[in-house]
Amino acid sequence: MKIRLFGIISVILLLSSCSEYSRVQKGRDMDAKLDLAIKLYNKKQYYKALPLLEELITVYRGTQKAEKTYYYYAYTNYYLGDFEGAAYDFENFAKTYPSSVLAEECYYMHAYCYYQSSPDYNLDQTNTLKAINELQLFTDRYPGSARVEECNKLIDQLRNKLEIKAYENANMYYDIGLHKSAVTAYKNLLHDFPSTQFREEIMFRIVKSMFLLAENSLEEKKPERYEETISAYTEFISAYPDSRMKSRLENYLENSRKRLSKLNRSLFIK
């Protein structure tokens, strides 16, 4: 009996709530709409709050209530997962109300929206690059902000994603035997991410790829490419003298020297 009574009360409250929402939404009392929109927002009923706020940002434009309304509107879009729309709204809020105490927060949220929309590393990274740029702009704009440390952490996470993508792309060339492209990709990765976690493995693969490139080159290009292999080996050993991969690379070094010596003798005889 109690369970049935509770169910009836719940239905009545639900119908009452729907009736209130419909009445306020269709009414002309804008302040009542704002109060209801904020009430729904606080209950995380963002889908119901959104149409009320959309109407109010137009109605309140140029008034003292416009700032508050637009602030809730931007966050409503954010919580609904519309990060692109929210990014625009947060930036527009900060530009429209530059003296607001909420401007800094909205500039941060503008950048954070791009962070949220950054996809997995194996997908297009346009939004990742955009997020890094916007987070850096925030730290430049507010160097004393308490959010700077968080921005730097987010930038590191995003750069790590770009690093992994670059590493996987270079590995693709390596795995299918495009040695010249692999060397170029690995060198670009070392330039862009000098502290990469994959540095030792990359430098090893550069030596191996250079040797295989030399082996499959035209005769006139072989001497230069064997020399580049020897140079790459020297760089690797200088950086990692005790590497577990050292013995494997010594074979490439020895063979490069032998091939180079043979080619030089051939040229001398000619």
* Domain over 177-270 is classified CATH 1.10.150.390: no
- Other C-beta atoms within 10 Å of 10: how many? 10
pLDDT in the model for residue 266: 64
Q: How far apart are the first and last CA of the chain?
A: 108
Encoding tokens for residue 121? 């590393």
SS3 state at 256: helix
**Listed range (28-32, 92-96, 124-128, 136-140) with the worst mean pLDDT:** 28-32
pLDDT over threshold 80, residue 14: no
Q: Which amino acid is at 111?
A: A
- Residue extents of the structural domains in the chain: 177-270
Lowest model confidence (mean pLDDT) among 114-118, 232-236, 259-263: 259-263
Among 58, 40, 65, 60, smallest CA distance to 50 is for 40
* Residue 99 burial by Cβ neighbours in a 10 Å radius (0-12, 13-18, 19+): exposed
pLDDT digits (tens, 9 = 90+) for 190-218: 999 999 999 999 999 999 999 999 999 89
Token reading at 236:
């690797």
Residues of 80-92 as b/e, b for ≥16 C-beta within 10 angstroms?
A: eebbebbbebbbe
Q: Tell me the backbone φ, ψ of residue 121, rounded to 5 degrees.
A: -60, -25
Give residue-wise pLDDT tens across range 27-49: 677 888 899 999 999 999 999 99
Q: Which residue has the higher pLDDT, 75 or 29?
A: 75
C-alpha distances out from residue 110 to 44, 85, 137, 146, 205, Å: 21, 10, 11, 16, 40
In the chain, helix, strand, coil percent, each to 5? 80, 0, 20
Question: Is residue 2 pLDDT above 70, yes or no?
Answer: no
**For all residues of the chain together, what is the average pLDDT?**
90
What pLDDT is stored for residue 13 in this prediction?
44
